[in-house]
Structure 1
Amino acid sequence: MRLENVVWDARDPRTLGLFWSAALGAEPITDGPDGFETRLPLSGDAFLDLCFGHVAEPSSAPARLHLDLAGGARQQEVVERLLGLGATPADIGQGDVPWAVLADPEGNAFCVMEDREAYRGTGPIAALPLDSADPERDAAFWAGITGWVPFDGVAGLVSLRHPSGAGPLLELCPEPEPRRGKSRLHLDVRADHEDGDPVPRVTGMGARQLTRQGELPWIVFADPSGNEFCVLPPPRG
């Protein structure tokens, strides 16, 4: 399996997808009635797809996954460019911090980070922070289903990274509260042909199956901390 998608629930997938495409310099690959997708190359054949699916009303539950964008020495320049694309300043109770908090056109908060050694060379997305009730346990789980490997990232956080060393960190962050309600953002992993039935493997590592495989080709699970994610079928061919 491999980590393939970051998925947003969106009222207007195309508008939100175009914002994030411009924000990250990603390449749109799907623009249709079922949603909008844009691709961010990582290294070699590795990539991360950003997917925006339509929902009538996105969840109002606290977000458990968000994006931290690389700012570095150009942090303020990056912030100004994002504001020009349609982002707005956001106050989520962060107080006086060295990073900037913004919201995308549908109100999803994200951060533009200051210069940190751990985020140099990540590309436009520095990190994918995911709430966790037990970061060490959940890091082992996500490593097991993505092939990502431990990375010495930000002090105090448990981090994984693509084995190529390219792209963002997946940071398992101590949760401020247990999950309550569906998150607007979630991750998808893609099964490989040799994986067979993913259910025994994924549930054997501590996930809980939320949907049965039926008309939809993917299966929805919750990780050991309750974060939803989907397992997609192997690629065609």
Structure 2
Amino acid sequence: MRLENIVMQARDPQATGRFWSAALGLEDLSPGSPDDYEGRLRIDDDVWLDVCIEPVTEPPPPGWRLHLDLRGGAQQAEVVERLHGLGARHTDIGQVDVPWVVLADPDGNPFCVMEERAAYADTGPIAALPLDSADPARDAELYAAITGWVPVEGVGLVTLRHPSLRGPLLELCPEPEPKVRQNRAHLDVRPTPDGPDQRGLVDLALSLGASLASEDWAQEHPWTVMRDVSGNEFCVLADPED
């Protein structure tokens, strides 16, 4: 199994996709739907993540339980300036006095450009994926089991990373408030031939406290929509041969 997709929502996926493609140096791919955007962030030959953007009609709501932290480091100011040139803008999510810079993409989705941190060595342009959690340790157990990622020293209360120790960190962070709506960003995991199939991966997630999404929008897909212990959506994709 592997963590395959970071899925975001936007009112204009193509315009937002062009921003993220330029911001992250993505390889543009052919999405499953012409209304979507999909691009690949290649860390090395064996480590990659796809950024997928799907359409919605509403602007971003308050609260952002999963977002991207981009690597800035010693070049933080230069990275921020370049992102401004691509269409990002400063935004206030209540951050007050912090060493990172909070921006929003052209659709208004917040993200951060981080200061220098030793934990971000070899991450590539995405330093981390912070995810709000009501129980970071228990959610980390779930994500480790369904992605194959391993615990590492990091910035979040509990941090996971690809076993190659390359690519972004998945940081499980204490939630500021309980989840109240569908997340505007989520993760997708894919079965691989050396692990459980889709049904087995769903059963594994259920055994570790995940639940099946019951809403109408979550039904009738090749993937299975689930929620972690804290209510955050994630999807188990179809088996590779499907």
For the aligned pair, the TM-score class normalised by the smaller chain equals over 0.9
Using the TM superposition, give the Cα deviation of residue 137 of structure 1 relative to its aligned residue in structure 2, in angstroms: 1.2
Using the TM superposition, give the Cα deviation of residue 13 of structure 1 relative to its aligned residue in structure 2, in angstroms: 0.7
Using the TM superposition, give the Cα deviation of residue 36 of structure 1 relative to its aligned residue in structure 2, in angstroms: 0.9
SS in structure 2 opposite 1:43? coil
Report the counterpart of residue 219 of structure 1 in structure 2: 224
**Once superposed, which parts of structure 1, at least 4 consecutive aligned residues long, lie more than 4 Å away?**
211-214
Report the counterpart of residue 208 of structure 1 in structure 2: 211
Using the TM superposition, give the Cα deviation of residue 215 of structure 1 relative to its aligned residue in structure 2, in angstroms: 3.5
Distance 1:216 1:93 in 2: 37
SS in structure 2 opposite 1:102? strand
Residue by residue over 1:181-216, the C-alpha shift from the partner in whole angstroms, topping out at 9 and shown as x without a partner, is 011111111122452313322111110011499631
Report the counterpart of residue 39 of structure 1 in structure 2: 40
Aligned pair count reads 236
Residue by residue over 1:141-161, the C-alpha shift from the partner in whole angstroms, topping out at 9 and shown as x without a partner, is 11011000001112x621000
Residue by residue over 1:18-71, the C-alpha shift from the partner in whole angstroms, topping out at 9 and shown as x without a partner, is 100100011111255241100001232221000011122256252100000000
SS in structure 1 opposite 2:139? helix
Judging by fraction of residues, say which structure has more strand.
1
Inter-CA distance 112–214: structure 2 relative to 1 (3 Å threshold): closer
Distance 2:139 2:131 in 1: 10
Distance 1:84 1:157 in 2: 34
Distance 2:164 2:230 in 1: 27
Inter-CA distance 210–178: structure 2 relative to 1 (3 Å threshold): same
Report the counterpart of residue 170 of structure 1 in structure 2: 170
SS in structure 2 opposite 1:118? helix
Residue by residue over 1:116-156, the C-alpha shift from the partner in whole angstroms, topping out at 9 and shown as x without a partner, is 101122100000000001111111111011000001112x6
Distance 2:16 2:178 in 1: 28
Q: 140-149 or 40-49, which moves further after superposition?
A: 40-49
Q: How does 1:102-113 map to 2 (within 5 A)?
A: 102-113=103-114
Report the counterpart of residue 235 of structure 1 in structure 2: 240
TM-score by length of 2: 0.92
Structure 1 residue 189 corresponds to structure 2 residue 194: no
Report the counterpart of residue 3 of structure 2 in structure 1: 3
TM-score by length of 1: 0.94
Q: 196-205 or 120-129, which moves further after superposition?
A: 196-205
CA contact (8 A) 1:61 1:182 kept: no
SS in structure 1 opposite 2:178? coil
Aligned-CA RMSD value: 1.7
